[in-house]
Amino acid sequence: MNFNDKTVLVTGGGAGIGRDVAERFAKAGARVIVLEIDPVRADQVRQSLGDGGHLVLEADVTSQAALDSAFAMVAERYPALDVLVNNVGDALQVFKPLEQYSDEDFERLYAVNLRQVFQVTRAAIPLLRRRTGAQASIVNVASIEGYRGIPFLSVYAAFKSALGGFTRSLALELAGDRIRVNQIAPETTETPQMPVSAVIKPEYRERVSDWIPLGRFGEPEDMSNAVLFLASDLAGWITGTTLHVDGGALAAAGWYRTPQGGWTNTPVVESGGFIY
């Protein structure tokens, strides 16, 4: 996957999946633009990327004014974009029954998980039309929670589900411009935003290999592998689709291995459920 002479923009590229994506594109030869809200993380990824025509901007992608300023700087420095990665998204620790959500909760979750994707993509499309290669690519980062039920995160899940509809429809809209639009839907991934190893109770940690069919939670490189593939010429005839990067979790649909080698839908209960 060679991205020499390509220009790639990654939102939220200062940590976790976004940073790994940015660094991987840079290693593959791309000029990388990162939009990152946190100044410390922005500086860290700036140092990590080093020289090579890269640009790291401190920008809040949920602010239209900040996006206008950032894209003005991008357009001044780069004639075109080849790849856009909409990585920003967060449940914002809003984990509670729906009747306890405030209107502010709704607005914050919408702004971070869906509205900014619309706004960033709208700003990027004119630059993607000017790309240097035969095709351009947009890759959105959704979530497995857009494809399965999850209690107490219903609003977050709804926005992640909506992102799939946006991806499919925009893929058709931009197909004539040879701009492909796809997304990945990760299972829980070990990042500073979601330190899985710290939130699983110690007595259950040895069971992780039973809960995920491929035996572990995700790592940032699992997601960046998928993003680079979808953005590359190897995926040149793929658009409007979702790549589920989840270790088989969605396919398992709530069934887990037992230490005895069977399967159960009640993984932390000593007895009960269906065990095969």
Cβ neighbours for 217, distance < 8 A, ≥ 6 positions apart: 187, 188, 189, 190, 196, 208, 247
CA 87, 44, 62 angle in degrees (round to 5)? 35
Q: Do residues 121 and 170 lie in contact, with contact meaning Cβ atoms separated by under 8 Å?
A: yes
SS3 content of the chain, % helix, strand, coil (to 5): 45, 15, 40
Q: Do residues 223 and 184 lie in contact, with contact meaning Cβ atoms separated by under 8 Å?
A: yes
In angstroms, the first-to-last Cα distance of the chain is 43
Cβ neighbours for 130, distance < 8 A, ≥ 6 positions apart: 79, 80, 81
Amino acid at 33: I
Please give the positions annotated as active site.
Answer: 156
